[in-house]
C-alpha cells in the first residue's frame, strides 16, 4: 500500500510545520487538529471488549480536549471482529483520513496484518489489548500499552500455584487463534518451569460452543487446576459447562478473563477464576480513582481493563506529542519510545524504543462474584 506520509527523496517523512506547536508539556499549543484513528471490534465476538475500549477512548479524548493547547479528532472504525474488515478500516484511516497516530485493534489476530500496513505507512500505532508475542517486533512504529500475555502469565501462574498449591494441571486451548495459541505456549512453559504435572491437554476451534467431550477427559484426569487459553466467546460456555459437570477446580485464564462482563455472564460459575491482568479496579491511585468514577458517571457501568488500556493509550500519545510539542508522526514515534515511568491508570508504565511496555501485573481471583487481588 502507499504511505500516508509525504516522503522526501531520502525516504524519511518530511515534517509538517503546522503540526509543530509552541511551548512544551502542559503548555504545548498546536493549532492543527491532531487526528487519532482507532480500529476496534464493536460487533461480533470481541465486541464485549471493543465496547469498553470505545468508551475508555472517548472518555480520554473528551478529557484531553478540555485541556488547553491541543485538539484531538478521534476517527473510530468498527472491524466487526473480522480480519478483512479490519484491514480495510486500517487502510481507510491511513490513506483517506491520514491520521497522525492509531490505536487498536482489539485482537492480535487482526494486528498481525494491520500493523504491517501502519508500519509501512510510518504511522505510530499503540496496541491496547494486543497481548500476543511478537507484536512490537512488527516494526519501529508499533507500540503497545497492553501487558504481554507471557508477562501476565509469568506472574499469574506462579501466584496461583503459591496460593492454591496445585501439583497437577489440565490445559485447554483454542488452537486456531494467534493470541490464544501464543498464550497457551506461555502457560505450558510456566507450568513446566514450576514442575507441575500436565495430566490432560485438550484443544478446540475458535467457534466451538460444546466442550463436554474434552471436559469429561479433564474430569477423569483428576487435575488440581484447569489452565485455559480461550477467547471470551468460548470461555463463557466452557466454564459454565465445566461447573455444570461438577468440575469445581480453580480455572486460571489469560487476559480475556479480566472483565466484569465475563463475571456477569458466568454468574456463580466465575467463582475461583484466576487472571493476571494489566489493571485492577482496586488500584487506589488518585488517577485510577478519578478514572473509575468518571467512567461510571459517563456510562453507568464500572470500567474494566479494556477501557483502562484504551484510556491509557490516548493519554500516552498526548504525553508523547507534548514532550516535544510536535504531532508529526516521526516525532510521536520517537517520544513514545522515551516514555519512562509515565503515571497512568495502569500504574507507572515505561515504553521501550522498540515499542514494548513494562508495567507491574495485577493478579486477581474471583471471590463472591468480585475480583480480589491475589498479589
Ligand atoms: N488479548 C487479546 C488479543 O491479543 C484480545 C483481548 S480478548 C478480547 O487478541
What's the gap in Å between 202 CA and the centre of ligand 1?
Answer: 20
Determine which residue's CA is closest to atom 8 belonging to ligand 1.
46
Specify the pLDDT at position 50. Answer: 96
Q: Is the CB of 53 under 6 A from ligand 1?
A: no
Taking the C-alpha atoms of residue 131 and residue 278, their distance in angstroms, rounded to an integer, is 10
Q: Which atom of ligand 1 is closest in space to residue 178's alpha carbon? A: 9
Atom of ligand 1 at shortest distance to CA of 46?
A: 8
| Per-residue pLDDT at 233 | 86
- Is the minimum distance from the CB of 129 to ligand 1 under 6 angstroms? yes
pLDDT at 242 over 70: yes
> Measured between alpha carbons, how far is residue 61 from residues 196, 215, 345, 359, 369 in Å?
46, 44, 15, 23, 32
**Minimum CA distance residue for ligand 1 atom 7:** 256
Residue 256 Cα, ligand 1 centroid: separation in angstroms?
6
The DSSP secondary-structure symbol of 18 reads G
Q: 78-95 pLDDT, tens per residue?
A: 999 999 999 999 999 999
Is any ligand 1 atom within 6 A of the Cβ of residue 49? Answer: yes
Residue 131, ligand 1, Cβ within 6 A? yes
User: Which three-class secondary structure string do you get for 183-212?
Assistant: HHHHHHHHHHHHCCEEEEEEEECCCCCCCH
Q: Can you give the pLDDT at residue 5?
A: 45
Looking at residue 4, its pLDDT comes to 45
Q: For ligand 1, is residue 235 a contact (CB within 6 Å)?
A: no
Kindly report the CA angle at 89 between 84 and 93, in degrees rounded to 5?
150
For residue 255, which atom of ligand 1 is closest to its CA? 1
Percent of the chain whose predicted confidence (pLDDT) is above 70: 96
* Cα 327 from Cα 190, distance rounded (Å): 41
pLDDT class of 142 with cuts at 50, 70, 90: very high
At 307, is the secondary structure helix, strand, or coil? Answer: helix
CA distances from 357 to 135, 274, 347, 351 (A): 11, 23, 12, 5
Q: pLDDT per residue over 291-317, tens digit each?
A: 999 999 999 999 999 999 999 999 999
Does the beta carbon of 46 lie inside 6 Å of ligand 1?
yes
Ordered structural domains, the chain, with CATH: 17-146+284-358 (3.40.50.2300), 150-277 (3.40.50.2300)
Give me the mean pLDDT over the 25-39 stretch. 97
Helix (H, G, I), strand (E, B) or coil at 222: coil
Do β-strands 357-358 and 125-127 pair in parallel, antiparallel, or remain unpaired?
A: unpaired
Report CA(129)–ligand 1 centroid distance (Å).
Answer: 5
Which of 47, 115, 127, 130, when mutated, tests ligand 1's pocket best, judged by the most ligand atoms within 8 Å of its CB? 130
Amino acid at each position: 500500500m502507499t504511505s500516508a506520509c509525504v516522503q522526501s527523496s531520502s525516504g524519511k517523512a518530511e515534517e509538517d510545520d503546522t503540526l509543530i506547536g509552541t511551548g512544551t508539556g502542559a503548555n504545548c499549543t498546536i493549532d492543527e487538529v491532531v487526528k487519532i484513528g482507532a480500529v476496534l471490534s464493536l460487533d461480533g465476538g470481541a465486541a464485549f471488549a471493543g465496547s469498553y475500549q470505545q468508551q475508555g477512548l472517548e472518555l480520554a479524548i473528551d478529557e484531553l480536549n478540555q485541556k488547553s493547547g491541543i485538539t484531538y479528532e478521534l476517527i473510530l472504525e468498527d472491524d466487526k471482529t473480522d480480519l478483512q474488515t479490519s484491514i480495510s478500516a486500517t487502510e481507510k484511516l491511513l490513506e483517506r483520513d491520514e491520521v497522525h497516530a492509531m490505536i487498536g485493534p482489539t485482537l492480535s489476530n487482526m494486528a498481525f496484518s494491520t500493523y504491517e500496513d501502519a508500519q509501512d505507512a510510518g504511522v505510530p500505532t499503540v496496541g491496547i489489548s494486543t497481548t500476543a508475542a511478537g507484536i512490537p517486533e512488527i516494526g519501529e512504529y508499533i507500540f503497545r500499552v497492553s501487558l504481554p500475555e507471557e508477562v501476565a502469565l509469568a506472574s499469574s501462574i506462579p501466584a496461583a500455584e503459591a496460593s492454591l498449591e496445585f501439583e497437577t494441571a489440565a490445559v485447554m486451548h483454542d488452537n486456531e487463534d494467534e493470541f490464544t495459541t501464543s498464550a497457551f505456549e506461555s502457560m505450558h512453559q510456566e507450568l513446566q518451569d514450576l514442575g507441575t504435572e500436565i495430566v490432560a491437554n485438550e484443544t478446540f476451534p475458535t467457534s466451538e460452543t460444546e466442550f463436554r467431550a474434552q471436559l469429561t477427559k479433564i474430569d477423569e484426569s483428576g487435575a488440581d487446576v484447569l489452565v485455559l487459553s480461550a477467547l471470551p466467546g468460548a470461555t463463557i460456555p466452557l466454564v459454565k459447562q465445566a461447573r455444570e459437570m461438577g468440575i469445581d477446580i480453580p480455572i486460571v485464564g489469560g487476559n480475556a478473563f479480566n472483565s466484569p462482563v465475563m463475571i456477569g455472564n458466568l454468574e456463580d460459575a466465575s467463582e475461583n477464576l484466576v487472571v493476571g491482568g494489566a489493571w485492577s479496579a482496586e488500584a487506589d491511585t488518585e488517577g485510577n480513582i478519578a478514572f473509575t468514577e468518571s467512567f461510571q458517571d459517563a456510562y453507568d457501568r464500572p470500567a474494566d481493563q479494556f477501557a483502562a488500556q484504551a484510556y491509557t493509550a490516548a493519554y500516552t500519545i498526548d504525553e508523547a506529542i507534548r514532550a516535544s510539542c510536535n504531532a508529526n508522526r516521526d516525532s510521536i514515534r520517537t517520544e513514545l519510545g522515551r516514555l519512562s515511568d509515565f503515571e497512568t491508570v495502569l500504574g507507572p508504565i515505561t515504553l521501550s524504543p522498540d515499542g514494548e511496555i513494562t508495567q507491574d501485573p495485577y493478579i486477581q481471583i474471583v471471590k463472591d462474584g468480585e475480583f480480589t487481588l491475589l498479589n
